[in-house]
Chains A and B, each alone.
Chain A
Amino acid sequence: MSFLIGENMTGGYGGADILTNCTIGVEQGEIAVIVGPNGAGKSTAMKAIFGMLNLREGKVLMDGEDITKLSPQARVYKGMGFVPQTSNVFTSMSVEENLEMGAFIREDDISETMHQVFDLFPILKEKRNQPAGELSGGQRQQVAVGRALMTRPKVLMLDEPTAGVSPIVMDELFDRIIEVARTGIAILMVEQNAKQALNIADKGYVLVQGENRYTDTGKALMENPEVRKSFLGG
Chain B
Amino acid sequence: MESLINAVVLLLNFLVVPALSYGSQLALGALGVTLIYSVLRFSNFAHGETMAFGTMFVILATWLLQSWGVSFGPLPTALLALPVGCIATILFVLATDRLVYKHYREHKATNVIFMIASVGVMFVMNGIIRFVIGPEDQQFFDGERFIFNARQFKEWTGLTEALAIRTTQVITVVTAIIVVAILFWFLNRTRTGKSMRAYSDNEDLALLSGIDPAHVVRIAWIITAILATIAGTLYGLDKSFKPFTYLQLLLPIFAAAIVGGVGNPVGAIAGGFVIAFSEIALTFAYRKFFAYTLPDFLVPDGLAQLLSTDYKFAVSFVILVVVLLVKPTGLFSGKTL
**Would you list which residues of chain B between 296 and 337 have a CB under 8 Å from chain A?**
336-337
Residue pair A92, B201 in contact (C-beta under 8 Å): yes
Residue pair B208, A76 in contact (C-beta under 8 Å): yes
Give the A-B pair count, Cβ closer than 8 A. Answer: 59
**Would you list which residues of chain B between 172 and 228 have a CB under 8 Å from chain A?**
191, 194-195, 197-198, 201-202, 204-212
The yes or no answer to A89 lying at the interface (CB within 8 A) is yes
24 contacts between A and B (CB under 8 A): A76-B208, A77-B210, A82-B208, A84-B204, A84-B205, A84-B208, A87-B204, A87-B205, A88-B205, A90-B197, A90-B205, A91-B202, A92-B197, A92-B336, A92-B337, A93-B201, A97-B197, A97-B198, A101-B209, A101-B211, A102-B209, A104-B209, A105-B210, A147-B209
A91 to B333, CA, bound (A): 13
CB distance from B334 to the nearest CB of A (A): 11
A76 to B208, CA, bound (A): 7
Chain B residues whose CB sits within 8 angstroms of the CB of A77 once the complex forms: 210
Residue pair B198, A76 in contact (C-beta under 8 Å): no
Binding site for B on A (CB under 8 A): 72-73, 76-77, 82, 84, 87-93, 97, 100-102, 104-105, 147, 151
Residue pair B209, A105 in contact (C-beta under 8 Å): yes
Residue pair B194, A101 in contact (C-beta under 8 Å): yes
Chain A residues whose CB sits within 8 angstroms of the CB of B209 once the complex forms: 76, 101-102, 104-105, 147
Residue pair A100, B205 in contact (C-beta under 8 Å): no
Residue pair A87, B194 in contact (C-beta under 8 Å): no
Chain A residues whose CB sits within 8 angstroms of the CB of B195 once the complex forms: 101, 104
Chain A residues whose CB sits within 8 angstroms of the CB of B211 once the complex forms: 101, 104
Give the residue name and chain of the A residue nearest to B208 (CB): A82
Residue pair A90, B201 in contact (C-beta under 8 Å): yes
- The one of B198, B204, B212, B336 in contact with A101, judged by C-beta atoms closer than 8 angstroms, is B198
Q: Apart from A90-B205, A93-B197, A101-B194, what 20 extra A-B contacts exist at CB < 8 Å?
A: A72-B207, A73-B207, A73-B208, A73-B210, A73-B212, A76-B208, A76-B209, A84-B208, A87-B202, A87-B205, A88-B205, A90-B201, A92-B197, A92-B201, A93-B201, A100-B191, A101-B206, A104-B198, A104-B209, A147-B205
Give the residue name and chain of the B residue nearest to A132 (CB): B201
Chain B residues whose CB sits within 8 angstroms of the CB of A82 once the complex forms: 208
A92 to B212, CA, bound (A): 19
CB distance from A85 to the nearest CB of B (A): 11
Residue pair B198, A90 in contact (C-beta under 8 Å): yes
